[in-house]
Amino acid sequence: MTAIPNLNIVPFVSVDHMMRLVLKIGVERFLLELGAYIEEDYRRWEGFDKTPRVGAHSADGVIELMPTSDGTLYGFKYVNGHPKNVRAGRQTVTAFGVLADLGTGYPMLLSEMTILTALRTAATSAMAAKYLAPPGAASMALIGNGAQSEFQALAFRALLGVRRLRLFDVEPEATAKCRANLEPLGFELVDCATPEEAVEGAAIITTATADKQNATVLTDNMVGPGIHINAIGGDCPGKTELHRDILLRSDIFVEYPPQTRIEGEIQQLPKDYPVTELWQVITGRAAGRSSARQITLFDSVGFAIEDFSALRYVRDQLPASGLYQELDMLADPDDPRDLFGMIGRCAQGLGPVLTM
């Protein structure tokens, strides 16, 4: 990893910096390279500390902390999910993250992660589809055309070559937004009036809806043999998108079972229902897609290791890009034991600010 020179200064990547970094690298190249970082960390999955994210749930949404460490670096993300926010012109999901040196405890990066989470979610989806989707898949149904939809489209094109998209959202303005963003980028787009129409002829189905409820976005009769389902909308207790019967017909792949059983589609199934961890497929310890008629389901809820990978990737881009701000976040007294003396020396330069 390339070092940031001054260890007492923390690089901060703002929203503006992140947007400029994505544009400097190129969105699809960013997704390709980020996907490679995530896959690299999946290959060393067993070396990470793993725990389900810690959530504070309310009727309106959830705030979560997502920590992990590989024994050398520590990373965490703060993220919320509040579907009602969009009605007030606010984001449903916002996030920031920290990468730190485990040996010293010193933070090495503070970054926005609202945009970065959208990118890492899409990169993870497409990375999983490399192992699970039918070979040569060129058409995808995008059910839910909100903030994640364009990132998913670009990731699947960058990693799998998917160019034909069938769009559906319960809010037509969301589909119009998605079309306006993707049409200039060379996709073949079909606006669909129903989810049933959207899945016609699609080899991959991505569900990415926002409402915090047990919904049935896909019914059993909508899913034929050979389909790969990329289910990314079910990400908290009480929120699902797929009919239970679809799960019973599918081979299910997950990130971290203790978290997915609480938050994913498989919360509808018994706690001991068999699933396969994605890292096992990537490392060759378990089979992914094994037949043409197999229905594969990636029940993705997002996991801290993916955020860790994203923070690693961003940090590695900073020295060459210069797209960060230096934050004076770490106290640096002449004597590490004399923190109060540091305040006193500051007072000498500012005048009589210390009082009894």
Share of the chain above pLDDT 70, in %: 94
Out of 3.20.20.210, 3.40.50.720, 3.90.1280.20, 3.50.50.60, select the CATH number for domain 134-302: 3.40.50.720
Q: What is the pLDDT of residues 133-152, one digit of tens each?
A: 999 999 999 999 999 999 99
Whole-angstrom distance, CA of residue 245 vs CA of residue 231: 15
Contact status, residue 330 vs residue 10, Cβ threshold 8 Å: yes
Flag whether pLDDT at 128 surpasses 70: yes
Q: What is the pLDDT of residues 162-209, one digit of tens each?
A: 999 999 999 999 999 999 999 999 999 999 999 999 999 999 999 998
- The closest of 226, 347, 204 to 295, measured between CA atoms, is 226
Q: What is the pLDDT of residues 227-245, one digit of tens each?
A: 999 999 866 778 889 999 9
Question: What pLDDT sits at residue 36?
Answer: 98
Annotated catalytic residue, options 41, 169, 235, 307: 235
Structure confidence at residue 300 as a pLDDT band (50, 70, 90) = very high
Whole-angstrom distance, CA of residue 56 vs CA of residue 78: 11
The residue ranking higher by pLDDT, 84 or 124, is: 124
Single-letter amino acid, residue 230? N
Question: What pLDDT sits at residue 50?
Answer: 97
Flag whether pLDDT at 69 surpasses 90: yes
Burial of 109 (0-12, 13-18, 19+ CB in 10 A): buried
Mean pLDDT, to the nearest integer, of 109-113? 98
Structure confidence at residue 324 as a pLDDT band (50, 70, 90) = very high
Element (H, E) at 28: helix 27-43
What is the maximum span of the chain, computed from C-alpha positions, in angstroms? 79
φ, ψ of residue 228 in degrees (nearest 5): -110, 130
Q: Residue 144 region, left (φ>0) first, then alpha (ψ -120 to 50), else beta? A: left
Mean pLDDT, to the nearest integer, of 74-88? 91
In this structure, how many other beta carbons lie within 10 angstroms of the beta carbon of residue 65?
14
Any catalytic annotation for residue 235?
yes
φ, ψ of residue 240 in degrees (nearest 5): -140, 165
Contact status, residue 113 vs residue 97, Cβ threshold 8 Å: yes
Find all residues with CB under 8 Å of 343, minimum gap 6, and list them.
Answer: 354
Q: What is the pLDDT of residues 13-27, one digit of tens each?
A: 999 999 999 999 999
Q: What is the pLDDT of residues 5-57, one digit of tens each?
A: 566 789 999 999 999 999 999 999 999 999 999 999 999 999 999 999 998 98
Contact status, residue 99 vs residue 74, Cβ threshold 8 Å: yes
Average pLDDT of the chain is 93
Q: What is the pLDDT of residues 247-260, one digit of tens each?
A: 999 999 999 999 99
Structure confidence at residue 91 as a pLDDT band (50, 70, 90) = confident
Q: Parse the chain into domains and list their residue ranges.
A: 10-115+306-343, 134-302
Looking at the domain that runs over 10-115+306-343, which CATH code has it been given?
3.30.1780.10
